[in-house]
Amino acid sequence: DIVMTQSPLSLPVTLGQPASISCRSSQSLVYSDGNTYLDWFQQRPGQSPRRLIYKVSNRDSGVPDRISGSGSGTDFTLKISRVEAEDVGIYYCMQGTYWPYSFGQGTKLEIK
């Protein structure tokens, strides 16, 4: 099974400053169709998860452009260019290339 490893697990950030979360997979997430099925999710306190990014770098509708995803192969990054109060929550990466799908442990973003 694919293991997804996120870092850091805790991320205190000052409002207006950038934030970056790393996600590494135990093997390449490139599928036979050429796509890389790596998604990012946000879970705000007390809410259901929400997908932010699909296939590494594609923003879902309604996601602000200060949030971006990048990476390839086994190394991926979620970046927030300027953190706002609404960004507080836990962020998860997830691979959907291989069965069973698997999530990272989660990164808790808080305001410093």
Partner 1 sequence: EVELTESGGGLVQPGGSLRLSCEASGFTFSYYWMSWVRQAPGKGLEWVANIKRDGSERYYVDSVKGRFTISRDNANNSLYLQMSSLRVEDTAVYYCTRELHDWGQGTLVTVSS
Q: Binding of partner 1 at residue 50 (CB under 8 A)? A: yes
Q: Binding of partner 1 at residue 104 (CB under 8 A)? A: yes
The region of 20-28, 62-70, 73-81, 104-112 touching partner 1 under the rule CB under 8 A is 104-112
Residues 29, 21: Cα–Cα separation, whole Å: 18
- Subset of residues 58 to 87 that bind partner 1, contact rule: CB under 8 A: 60
**Contact status, residue 21 vs residue 11, Cβ threshold 8 Å:** yes
Q: Binding of partner 1 at residue 92 (CB under 8 A)? A: yes
Binding site for partner 1 (CB under 8 A): 1, 39, 41, 43, 48-51, 54, 60, 90, 92, 94, 96, 99-106
